[in-house]
Chains A and B, each alone.
Chain A
Amino acid sequence: MKWSDGMLYPVLHRLEKEDLIRSEWIMSDSSRPRKYYEITAKGKKELIVEKEHWAQVSSVLSQIWDVDSPIKTT
């Protein structure tokens, strides 16, 4: 899957649907209207969980890929 600018929107919409972020259209006379996204409390919690999860996976993967791993020494 190629990541492009546009792919951001489906992801934002999904996060919003899962109540991890919320959005608001802001209209102003001087410029174009804009949609603002903000993280929710639930989103903050989820972020911590995901970060830990990633750290875990990353540590496991780095153990596997570690060239100095003791497996190869036998």
Chain B
Amino acid sequence: MFNMEKSINKWLRNFSKYRAFSHGSIREMELHLRDHIEDLTSKGLSEKDAFNRAVNEFGQINTMAKEEFSNQIPKSTIISLLNTAMIRNYFKIATRSFWKNKFYATVNIMGLTIGLTIVFLISLFVTDELSFDQFHAKKDQLYRVVENQYYDGQPVFPVAVTPTALAPSLKAEYPEIANSTRLFFDNAIFDSDESKIVEEEGILADQNIFEMLTLPLIEGSIESFKETLNAIVINEELAVKYFQESSPISKTITLDKEEYVVIGVMQNVPNNSHLEIRYIRNFEKYLAQDPERANSWRSNWLYTYVELAPGTDLNSFNEKVIGQIKANNEGSITDIYLQPMTDIYLGSVAFVVEVSKKGEMIYVRIFTIVALFILLISCINFMNLSTAQSAKRAKEVGLRKTVGGTRQQLVFQFLTESIMLALIAVVISVVLVILILPYFNQLANKQFELSLLINPVAGVRWGIGILAIALLTGLIAGSYPAIFLSSLSPISSLKPDVVTGKQGSGLRKVLVVLQFVISVVLIIGTVVMYKQLQFIQNTDLGYNKENIIYLNVPQDQSEIFANELRGKTGIIGVGRGSNHPAYIFSSTSGIGWPDKNPEETILIHTTGMDENYMSTMEMNMIDGRHFKHSDSAVVIINERAREIMALDNPIGQEINAGEKYTIIGVVSDFNFKSVHVPIEPLMIFKSNELRRVFIRYNEANSDQIVASINEVWTEIVPDRELDYYFLEDDFNELYEAEQRTSQLSAYFAGLAIFISCLGLFGLVSYATEQRTKEVGIRKVLGASINDLFMLLTGDFTRLVIISLFISLPIGWYLMDKWLEGFAYHINLSIWVFVFSGAVALAIALITVSYQSVRASLNNPVHALRNE
């Protein structure tokens, strides 16, 4: 039997299952149902039928519950926009739209991937360059004392080395100096039972160095360092190399035939240190040979590092110490100042004598800018392709707006799409970075390791950095399309004849021009760098650097060694000198000559040679004669010295360099430093105390040459291993920075133009696709393929040509600045720019042609049927 009350109660219980319904609303619905049933029974239905029909018409309780529930959640806020259902929907739409536009999505991801890969690699490089010497706990208190020397008629002569007496005198006289150390680079033959190896990158230093720099000891103690003249601290690497598993502490090791006691083992100094230290010997050992040396103010030869007391003002302290050398050395022309430790590596002053590990701030800046530009180029691709395709998306926007989508939601949706793309690109580029890393290390001369990134602290930092870059890229790339697309009015976007993708085309053109300006400037940079390097490598140095091997021979054996070598097959000449021909840094202002103005201090570089050096090097005499074996107290000057000494006929004149020397010849100028600096005056003294032997060999015999040298070596210097170098290699090293930069910039320029063209390709493809029908009709009506090609490519070609006109002056200006850094450089010829422009134009034309030619060759029937 049907029980009305029971059935109604049962029905009502269904509502209370849902929390959405309040007591009031359940009551409201109960009354609705009861009224309805009453209505139906009064029309003659049975109670049971009336109930069933009323319940049925009332509808599904769960859908009502859902609807009621949506009333209760708060109004949409940023947080609610991020709610998962919404995000899931955005992802769905984004995936769908990528899928629908596979081609454009691929173009976008490819461009972004390349851009991001470059950004990641460059940020590895830049962060490493900027991290130099940051590992010292006292880095903000550490300084190096450097000099400015002032010579008459010559620019300031900055020198990084100082006299022996400076460090102790600063410490003694100024309370601001908490600590000081002298530091001098050293190499020594490490003699073990099995081998004799020259170990480089050692230093001689005062004990204070351990308090100043962060050089943590693993084993031993430096307490007795100062008192123990033959004390040595070695790094882990040397400890393992010479003592394997056993502890080296208190054991002896033979350096240059003398025994040293290992008192400590320190951790390997990190790569990002401008000081490369593998072992430390006691500076007192050097002083012990002649205690007078400690008081020397005359010769600048070692590095002085100081630690300032906390809170010392650098500028006012620099004013106090500026005259420290002048005060102790009468007649000195040298000022000193403190250079912050962390500025040494990337410092802009080109010190005349400087540590070998030196970076260049300008390259750090150039690379950072280039990375950002390349990322910008790939973001522009994204913007252009997205706005160009607005016609396709406009309908979607219109419909969304019509059915109630807010602008905020649309912006969010488009940003989700671009961030998603950026994330995909990030993932791919991280994989690429891992694959490329070994090659990049080679290119950039770095030792980045993956383990560096896996380490928890650095890894998390990099992870956050990478995600931040992805988000930023997504936001930059997506912001304009998002704002642009969401601004479309629903009415116009739903009218089919209004939307053509023309919106935003002005900005798009500007962006394309920007891309090509950046690319062409990079191409110009690469071409100019390449030409300058060619110029340097082929420039007449004043000597022939090819086919020369050189080596260091103990001074007392060098003459016999040279004589033995002469006459061996394949050896053309053997000369001895005190300096490498590209590294002559010793100089003096103490030379006098006839009619010299005694008021003037003029700096003249000096070097020593034997009678065979110049002929071996193939240097040219322009006046007078070479040295002879029997010569003594004679000197040869270079052209620049003749000029500065203002002697009309120098041959036979006497100069005074402590003793009197007669000028017997003038050698034509040769570059004895980097070609960054102009040739300076040089005097070459005939000398016999020479350690460097230079050997010119016949190229045809280059295979056996090392063997013949080794044969003589083992005969004359049996207790040492042969170490030899090729002159040409050093020369390449001298310009390594430029060579590396030129190589890297070639890659960057290539990739920049590639990404730009990728974008152009996308735009042309889209424009062509849009105009398929137009092309078909024009073709039917008789347009030639030529006409059609012009129609399709004209717009884009014009943009590329405009960007050429903008980029040429920019490139000219920038490269002119760069070339100013070289004393000897190419002149910027118009052909460099014509060539760069032509390359860019050709690549761009090929890019736009592909699609256009395809479209214009297409059978018009297909085009017109394409509905």
Contact = CB atoms under 8 A, between A and B. Distances in A.
Contact of B64 (A10, A60, A61): A10
A34 B24 CA distance: 11
Interface string B46-64: 0000000000011111011
B496 interface: yes
A56 B59 contact: no
Interface string A12-35: 011001000000000000001111
A17 B71 contact: yes
Contact of A35 (B28, B36, B402): B28
A9 B34 contact: no
B71 A5 contact: no
Contacts, number: 64
B60 A34 contact: no
Given A13-B68, A17-B71, A56-B491, A7 B63 contact: yes
B35 interface: yes
B40 to A, nearest CB: 12
A33 B35 CA distance: 11
A49 interface: no
B497 interface: yes
Contacts of B68: 9-10, 13
B29 interface: yes
Given A32-B35, A56-B491, A64-B496, A9 B29 contact: yes
Contact of A6 (B35, B64, B495): B64
Interface string B466-501: 000000000000000000000000110011110000
By DSSP majority rule, is chain A's interface helix, strand, loop, or mixed? helix
B57 A10 contact: no
Nearest to A8: B32
Contacts of A71: 496-497
A5 B25 contact: no
Nearest to B36: A5
A62 B68 CA distance: 33
B699 interface: no
B31 interface: yes
A56 B34 CA distance: 41
A52 to B, nearest CB: 12
A57 interface: yes
A27 to B, nearest CB: 12
Contacts of B60: 2, 4, 6
Interface string B301-321: 000000000000000000000
A63 interface: yes
B67 interface: yes
Contact of B59 (A7, A13, A35, A57): A7
18 contacts: A4-B57, A4-B58, A5-B36, A6-B58, A7-B64, A7-B67, A9-B28, A9-B64, A10-B67, A10-B71, A11-B67, A13-B71, A14-B71, A32-B34, A35-B31, A57-B402, A64-B495, A71-B496
- Counting from the closest, the 8 A-B pairs by CB-CB distance are A4-B59, A10-B67, A10-B68, A6-B59, A6-B58, A14-B71, A5-B58, A6-B64
Interface of B: 25, 28-29, 31-32, 34-36, 57-61, 63-64, 67-68, 70-71, 402, 490-491, 494-497
